[in-house]
Amino acid sequence: MNRNEELMNVKKEDVNRENKSASSTNKGVFIKDIENEESHVEDDLLDGQGDEVREFKRPRISLTKNIPKPNYYILALDGEFKDYAFNEERAPANKGKWRCETFKVNEDRPIDLEIGTGNGSHFQHRAVTHPERCIVGLELKYKPLIQTIRGCVRQKAENARVCRYHAMNLDLLFEKNELNNVYIHFPDPWVSPRKPNNRFVNARVLDWLFELQRPGSTLDFKTDSREYFLWSMEQIRTSKYQIEYETLDLHNSTMREGNFMTQFERIFTRQGVEINFVRLRKP
Ligand SMILES: C[S@@+](CC[C@H](N)C(=O)[O-])C[C@H]1O[C@@H](n2cnc3c(N)ncnc32)[C@H](O)[C@@H]1O
C-alpha cells in the first residue's frame, strides 16, 4: 500500500485536496496531507525561496464569524466547545492570563504547548496522563481542532484548551515565561514547493519560544522530512537552546522507549521512513 492509500485509509473523507505545503518522505516523494476543510489562510506566510529567513510578514487567517457556510466543526468552535476552544479573535485575550483566568491554577502549574495538533492523539494522551499539567494546542483547521478538544472533553480532561490560530503568530498568545514544554510534531515541511521561509522551526520562532518558555523547559521537534530537519538543525545550532538529544532515526534510538507515536508518525513509519527527532532545553 502506498502512502496516499494509507492516508486515505486513515480518514478517507478528509483527503480532499493536495496540501500546498505537502508532507514528504525523506526521499522527497509527494503525498497528500490529511486535510479536513480549507484552513482559510489568506496570506502566504513569508515570501521568497532563499534559505535565509527574510523580513517577517504576519500571516492573516480569515475570521470564523465570516465563513459563509459553517459546517459542524466551525459551529462547534464557538458553540458546543466554546469553553475549551478559542477562535482567532478570542484566543489572544488569554495572553498573560492562561494560569490565573483560563485554567484557574496556581502560577507554578506547568502549561505545555502543542503546535499543529492534527487529530489530537498526542495532545489527548498528554492531557489525560498528566492531569498535574495544563496543555494548550494550536491548530489551523477546524476539524482536527474540534477532534482534538472533543477527545479531551469526553475523557473529562479539564486541563486542556485549543486555539484556532496561526502558529507563526504565537507570540500574540503567550507572555514571556508563560510556557513550559513545547511539542512540534510533523509540521508542514515546505519542500514542495520549496519555501524554507515558511518552515515553522526557524531562527525567529526559536528566539520567540526561548523567551516564552520557563527555564528548564524542553522543546521536542519530530519530522519525517530529512531536508526540513537538517535545515532546522542549522537554525537550532545558532539559537540559545541546548541540544539535549538528536537523532536521524528515533525508532532505533534510545529515545524509542517512551516515544508516543502520533497519527502522522504511524503512517510514515509504516512506510519505512526514518523519523528525525531533536529535544532542546532552555537552560
Ligand atoms: C502534518 S500534520 C501533523 C499532525 C500531528 N502533529 C501528527 O503528528 O499527527 C500538521 C498539522 O499542523 C496544522 N498546521 C499547519 N500549519 C499550521 C499553522 N501555521 N498553525 C497551526 N497549525 C498548523 C495542520 O492543520 C495539520 O493538522
Domain with 201, as residue range(s), is 3-281
Supply the CATH number for residue 191's domain. 3.40.50.150
pLDDT of the residue at 57:
84
Sign, Cα dihedral of 212, 169, 185, 50: negative
Is 33 assigned a catalytic role?
no
Q: Is 223 in the pocket of ligand 1 (CB under 6 A)?
A: no
- The structural domain count of the chain equals 1
Q: Is 112 in the pocket of ligand 1 (CB under 6 A)?
A: no
Q: Is 146 in the pocket of ligand 1 (CB under 6 A)?
A: no
> Residue 92: is it exposed, middle or buried by C-beta count within 10 angstroms (0-12/13-18/19+)?
middle
**Cβ-Cβ contacts under 8 Å for 241 (sequence gap 6 or more):** 206, 210, 219, 280, 281, 282
Q: Is 147 in the pocket of ligand 1 (CB under 6 A)?
A: no
Q: Is 199 in the pocket of ligand 1 (CB under 6 A)?
A: no
Distance, CA 120 to ligand 1 centroid (Å)? Answer: 10
**Mean pLDDT value across residues 59-67:** 94
Residue among 44, 56, 87, 141 whose CB has most ligand 1 atoms within 8 A, to mutate: 141
Q: Are strands 276-281 and 242-247 parallel, antiparallel or unpaired?
A: antiparallel
Q: Is 262 in the pocket of ligand 1 (CB under 6 A)?
A: yes
Q: How far is CA 112 from CA 98, 154, 180, 214, in A?
A: 11, 20, 5, 10
Q: Residue 33's Cα: distance from chain center in Å?
A: 14
| Per annotation, catalytic residue among 188, 220, 224, 249 | 188
pLDDT for residue 178 is more than 70: yes
Q: 261: closest CA among 270, 141, 56, 214?
A: 270
Q: Which of 59-63, 121-125, 127-131 has the lowest mean pLDDT?
A: 59-63
Nearest CA, atom 5, ligand 1: 118
Distance, CA 258 to ligand 1 centroid (Å)? Answer: 22
Distance, CA 168 to ligand 1 centroid (Å)? Answer: 12
- Per-residue pLDDT tens for 223-260? 999 999 999 999 999 999 999 999 999 999 999 999 99
Confidence of residue 56 (pLDDT cuts 50, 70, 90): confident
Residue among 16, 115, 172 whose CB has most ligand 1 atoms within 8 A, to mutate: 115
Confidence of residue 188 (pLDDT cuts 50, 70, 90): very high
d(CA 141, CA 39): 5
Q: Is 225 in the pocket of ligand 1 (CB under 6 A)?
A: no
